[in-house]
Every structure is written in structure tokens, then in C-alpha cells.
Chains A and B, each alone.
Chain A
Amino acid sequence: MAEIKLNNLTKRWGDFIGVDDQSLHIKDREFLVLLGPSGCGKTTTMRMIAGLEEPTAGEIWIGDRMVNDDLPKDRDVAMVFQNYGLYPHMTIFDNIAYPLKVRGTDKSEIRPRVEKAAEQVELTEFLHRKPKALSGGQRQRVALARAIVRTPKVFLMDEPLSNLDAKLRVTMRAELKHLSRALQITTVYVTHDQIEAMTLADRVAVMKNGIIQQLGTPDDIYNNPANLFVAGFIGSPAMNLINGSVTDGMFVTTGGTRLVPVKSPDREKAILGVRADDMHVHEAGQGDIDVTIYAFENTGESTLLTVQWGKQRVIARGDRHLRKDQDDVVGISLNQDHLYLFDPETEDRIEM
């Protein structure tokens, strides 16, 4: 059990910057998710914590020890790799037992511990098999068992669910959450899937181009996005971002529609952010503005209306019983309690 501190951590390859001078304090027993699009430096950050990648600059602390010069084997972390990294020539039992064996655990102790770990991830009946004879989900669980067979200071998981099919991913997500609550070990979890991040994390660090954009609880990140990137990345469907200006306390779209009042001084350029759920759908003429439906989608639990709004398209979520068709006209109103305003130049959020 330990906290992790990253101080001004940088990783460069030649001119290319993978991680750019980032500091992050992960609390003891915290489940921290590194979230960001592919290539933003999540894996690199995690590999530096594990000792598989050497930082160009900065410090890594695990507990009260600076581990920059420690080999991976001496850092007392357990890692689940994206492709699991199972040992193909060993049985599942030997795979799970390996961290114990190399650390010189008593022979008599190994078997019960492997069996316990296997039981926790429901693998008991596969212990004598080789990884090749297992399905993707089962292999994923072997990787997990290999991590939890010891009590390391830190768990590191690099997109552990990304190779699973959608249905299995949801099941395994719940299992992971359950397991992490039970184990109470500091965890760094990397993913590009915002749902995984929102559901698993105590706190989320949203990354882009090697820089952490925002660090906060899932609620925080969802309700108070710090900038355009976070606003656009979190939430499904993505937040609608409408170009326009603020004139006389009203947000005016580039097309000239005076849309909603906003508590902001006038500015020539602004972006209004509004989530699909905060765009209410009415019959034509009954909302703030009438729009034409570009596409109508029924997902079962709700309906999604992509509507043409001047030159832009925005998405509104409608009632699950709503039935409309392409080219129909509907009225839209905005929930004025949940609007966001961004500065297009700095991309930062404007408080209002």
C-alpha cells in the first residue's frame, strides 16, 4: 500500500514529447484512471511508474522511496498488460505462481495462494491448461490473477479490457470494480474508454498530447469540464459545441439566432457547450428554436436526434417513446442550468 507521486515527469524520444512535465499525486488506496485518446502518453506514464521506461526528467515516488533508479523487479508493483503478457509455455498455475516463485515464496505457501487468486477470478478449473487453450476473457482473468496473487504496493493496468468483446467488457468491468474495492490497493488504470473511466475511478486524469488536462472525480469531470477537450471527450454522445458570440447577455449563434441568456460579459467569440440530455425535444414551434432532423436513431432506452442547426449539427436526446423521421421539424429548448461557455482561443472554460 502506498501513494504514488510523479514530480515534473517528462519522457522525450528525440524531439518527440510523449509525456510533458507532468506532476500527479495518487493517494494511498486510490483508484486513479488515466484517460485519453490513443497516443496521448498514458501507457508511457504507466510504464515509467513500472520501471519499463526511463523518464527523461522528473521523479517517481512510490511510498516514501524515490524509485527512478530501481529496476522493475524492485519496485513492488503488479501490472496487467494490454495483451496480457502471459507466459505461453507455462500452465495457468505456473503463470499465476511466477511472481511468487521468483520472489522466493515458500513452496508450501505458493499453492494455496495461487488457488485463492484463481478462485477470486473464477479460473480454478483451468489451472492445468496453457494460455493458448483459453478464451480472451479467461486470459484476461489469468493476467489479473497473476497481479493479485501477491499484495504489491501498486497495481498498474494498461487497457486490460480493450481486447474483450463489448458484452464481456461490461461484465469484467463490474468484476474489476468489485475486486478493487475488496483489495484496497493503490491502482493506476489506463483506458481510452470514458465509460470505463467514469465507472471505475475514484479520480480521473484526462490526458491529451502528454499533458494532463484535468484531474478530478468522475462527477467533477463530467459536470465541470475544465476545457473544450475534456468537455468533448467525456460523455456519450459527446457534448454539443456551438460556435457564436455573447451579445447583451445572450448567446448568439454564428447564424444570428439569439439562443439563450448566459451570465457572461459580451465577447466576440464564444463556444456554447450543451449535452444531448440538456437539449429538450418538443413539437415544432414549442421550443426555443425549430430545427430539421438530419438523422433519427432509436437506441432502445432513448432516442437520439441529430439535427441541422444552421451550418452545424447537434445531437439531442429524446424520450424513448418519441418517434420522428428524417427531415421532420422539431422544436428544441436548452436546459439553462447546464450550459457551458468556452473561449475558442484558449479553449478554456469561461466561468459563469
Chain B
Amino acid sequence: MRDNTLKYLLVLPAVLVVFVTAIWPLIEAARLSFTVGRLNRPGSLDQYLGWENYLWAFFEEPAFWNSVWVTAIYTLLTVGLTTVFALGLALLLAPGGRLRSSAQALLILPFAMSPALIGVSFRFMFNPEFGLFDAFFGIVFPPLADVSWLADPQLALAVVVMADVWGWIPFLTLVLIGGLASVPRDTVEAAQVDGASGWRVFKDVTLPQLAPVLAVVVILKSIFSLKTFDQVFMLTNGGPGTATQTLSHYIYFNGMKYGQIGYSASVAWLMVIPMIFLTYAYAKFVFRKADQ
């Protein structure tokens, strides 16, 4: 058998699995998005509507735009905060950084928790009566002690963002530590001897060489932020009202709770579009790095 044929045969199972579990559902969802698609109305899954569902989302549903808005803010905040914190921690923890391994082991812990668990534990921590933060503020800053964090729209979003940032920092820190380790120490030391201050060494030498890894981190985290669901579901269930309703949650709500599968599918497809861009960018960065 020729090497090439064998190569294709070997990846074939993987391709099949991806097709059955990812591509086919996508295609089916695309089809459903053009139907009436109500779970409680027999036959409606084959009842074609044209672009009606999409138009409905765009022009008749403030809740859709709300969830777009929430998702956008949520993504911007979580990506920004996680990246900045993870980078700071990575600089402290990297070989030659100021902290070392024991701290590293401790830090990975949050990543070992499932997002749903993070959601639940944060819900308890922010409970206004017996939560950790209630107790904490009771001592440090009493006026904040009895705030109902999850009942206030802005604060609730802040808590959701915080829980996510908390959960994601460890993994991204590890990725960035790896990235920092691949920045040649020689170049950093050369800059120090050349007369650069700590900040200039970082800005002129470390950061530019870390840029490809940083880009991967930002893209990867954006993908995960865009599709956040389980944490929101467990922590606030989208509330209060729809203040923390992300797109995924909105899709789930309409599809599973209200049975509007056709409409949900159309919103889901609207979400696929930015995802495809991000995934493409991600693949480009990862493979460009591998090429070098």
C-alpha cells in the first residue's frame, strides 16, 4: 500500500467520528433553522418557513439582542481579564520568575473543577446570608456584607465573569508559562545587559516573542467565552431577568424549555459564524507556529 493511501485510511475513522458527531448535527441544525420546528407540534420539523426564524431573531426579539449584548460584554471581560491575570501569573511562575512549583500545583486546582461545579460553588459563595463573601465583607467592609450580588443585574454579570475568570486563569497560565519558557533566556538577558529596565525587557523582548502564544490564548479563550453555558446555567440561570443570559443559554432556553427548536437552530447558526472565524484564526496561528 502506498504511504499516502495508508495515511488517509488512518485518519478516516477520526474524520467519520467528527462527521457524525459535529458536521451532521450542524447540517441538521441548519435544516431545522428553516422550519417552524416546534417540539410540541407534530410535523412542524418538516414545515419550511424560509428565513422567517432569522428575521424574527433580528427584528422581533429584544431578548435575542440582549443575549448578544450580554455575550459580547461577557466575552470581552473574561478574555481580557483572564489573559491579563494569566500573563501576570505566568511571569511570576515561569522558570526564573519569582514564585515556583508549590504555588504552581495549587494554581491548577480551579481548572480541575467542572464549570458546573464552579457555578454552584460561586452561587454559595455569593449567597447573601451564609456565603463566603458575605462573611468576608462582614469583617472587611460591612456595607457590602448584605448585598444580594446575584439579584442585581450588573453585579450578577460581574459575578459570572468572575467565576469564569477564576476557572480559566490556571489553564491559560500554564499555556503562557509554556510560551514564556520558549522565549530564549539569552535574549532577555541580552536586553538586561544592553541597559533595558524590567518593563522594557518585557515590552521589547519578551512580549513580541510571546505574541504567537498570546494570540492563541486570546482566540481560544474567546471561543470558550462565546459558548459559555454551564456556568451561567448553574450560577444565575440567566437572571436576574435576562441580565446574564448568554447566547448559549438563550438558545437552550428557547429550544429545550419552550420547544422552539427551529428558532433555536437559527440563533445557533448565527453563533456559528463568529466561531468559524475564530477557529480559522486559531488553526492558522497554531499551524503557522508548527511550521516554524
- Among A77-117, those with CB < 8 Å from B are 77-79, 81-89, 98-99, 102-103
A99 near B187: Cβ-Cβ < 8 Å: no
The reply on A129 being an interface residue by CB < 8 A is no
| Distance of A126 from chain B, by nearest CB (Å) | 18
A85 near B208: Cβ-Cβ < 8 Å: no
- Name the one of B187, B192, B208, B209 contacting A72, with C-beta atoms under 8 angstroms: B192
A89 near B197: Cβ-Cβ < 8 Å: no
The reply on B191 being an interface residue by CB < 8 A is yes
Please report the C-alpha to C-alpha distance between residue A283 and residue B200 in the assembled complex, in whole angstroms. Answer: 71
Please report the C-alpha to C-alpha distance between residue A146 and residue B197 in the assembled complex, in whole angstroms. Answer: 18
A85 near B184: Cβ-Cβ < 8 Å: yes
Chain A residues, Cβ within 8 Å of B194: 73, 78, 98-99, 102, 146
Assign chain A's interface to a size class.
20 to 34
A50 near B193: Cβ-Cβ < 8 Å: yes
- Name the one of B189, B196, B208 contacting A81, with C-beta atoms under 8 angstroms: B189
- Among B180-201, those with CB < 8 Å from A are 184, 186-187, 189-197, 200
CB 8 Å contact bits of B155-188 with A (1 = contact, 0 = none): 0000000000000000000000000000010110
- Name the one of A71, A87, A89 contacting B190, with C-beta atoms under 8 angstroms: A87
Chain A residues, Cβ within 8 Å of B196: 73, 98, 102
* CB nearest to A77 among chain B residues: B193
A71 near B192: Cβ-Cβ < 8 Å: yes
User: Contacts A73-B197, A98-B204; is A85 near B187 (CB within 8 Å)?
Assistant: yes
B192 near A73: Cβ-Cβ < 8 Å: yes
- Name the one of B193, B195, B200, B209 contacting A89, with C-beta atoms under 8 angstroms: B209
Please report the C-alpha to C-alpha distance between residue A269 and residue B44 in the assembled complex, in whole angstroms. Answer: 106
- Name the one of A85, A86, A102 contacting B195, with C-beta atoms under 8 angstroms: A102
Number of inter-chain CB pairs below 8 Å: 65
- Among A18-77, those with CB < 8 Å from B are 50-52, 71-73, 75, 77
Chain A residues, Cβ within 8 Å of B205: 87
Chain B residues, Cβ within 8 Å of A82: 186
| Distance of B51 from chain A, by nearest CB (Å) | 47
A87 near B193: Cβ-Cβ < 8 Å: no
- Name the one of B187, B189, B192 contacting A88, with C-beta atoms under 8 angstroms: B187
| Distance of B194 from chain A, by nearest CB (Å) | 4
B195 near A52: Cβ-Cβ < 8 Å: no
Q: Which of A75, A83, A98 has the most CB of B within 10 A?
A: A98
| Distance of A253 from chain B, by nearest CB (Å) | 50
- Name the one of B190, B200, B204, B209 contacting A85, with C-beta atoms under 8 angstroms: B190
Main secondary structure of the interface of B (DSSP, over half): helix
CB 8 Å contact bits of B95-108 with A (1 = contact, 0 = none): 00000000000000
Q: Which of B186, B190, B196, B197 has the most CB of A within 10 A?
A: B190
| Distance of A321 from chain B, by nearest CB (Å) | 49
Chain A residues, Cβ within 8 Å of B195: 73, 99, 102-103
Please report the C-alpha to C-alpha distance between residue A89 and residue B183 in the assembled complex, in whole angstroms. Answer: 11
Chain A residues, Cβ within 8 Å of B209: 88-89
User: Contacts A73-B196, A73-B197, A98-B204; is A87 near B191 (CB within 8 Å)?
Assistant: yes
Please report the C-alpha to C-alpha distance between residue A314 and residue B47 in the assembled complex, in whole angstroms. Answer: 99
Please report the C-alpha to C-alpha distance between residue A98 and residue B208 in the assembled complex, in whole angstroms. Answer: 15
| Distance of B192 from chain A, by nearest CB (Å) | 4
Chain A residues, Cβ within 8 Å of B204: 87, 98, 102
- Name the one of B187, B193, B197, B200 contacting A52, with C-beta atoms under 8 angstroms: B193
B190 near A102: Cβ-Cβ < 8 Å: no
* CB nearest to A98 among chain B residues: B194
B197 near A85: Cβ-Cβ < 8 Å: no
| Distance of A140 from chain B, by nearest CB (Å) | 13
Chain B residues, Cβ within 8 Å of A81: 186, 189-190
- Among B90-136, those with CB < 8 Å from A are none
| Distance of B219 from chain A, by nearest CB (Å) | 20
* CB nearest to B207 among chain A residues: A89
* CB nearest to A103 among chain B residues: B195
* CB nearest to A79 among chain B residues: B193
Q: Which of B195, B196, B205 has the most CB of A within 10 A?
A: B195
User: Contacts A73-B197, A98-B204, A102-B200; is A85 near B192 (CB within 8 Å)?
Assistant: no
Chain A residues, Cβ within 8 Å of B193: 50-52, 72-73, 75, 77-79, 156
Please report the C-alpha to C-alpha distance between residue A73 and residue B187 in the assembled complex, in whole angstroms. Answer: 14
CB 8 Å contact bits of A164-202 with B (1 = contact, 0 = none): 000000000000000000000000000000000000000
- Name the one of B186, B200, B208 contacting A83, with C-beta atoms under 8 angstroms: B186
A-B contact pairs, 7 of them (CB 8 A): A50-B193, A71-B192, A87-B191, A88-B187, A89-B208, A103-B195, A146-B194
Nearest first, the 5 A-B pairs at minimum CB distance are A85-B186, A85-B190, A99-B194, A72-B192, A89-B208
Given contacts A86-B190, A88-B209, 6 further A-B contacts (CB under 8 A): A50-B189, A71-B192, A72-B193, A81-B189, A98-B196, A102-B195
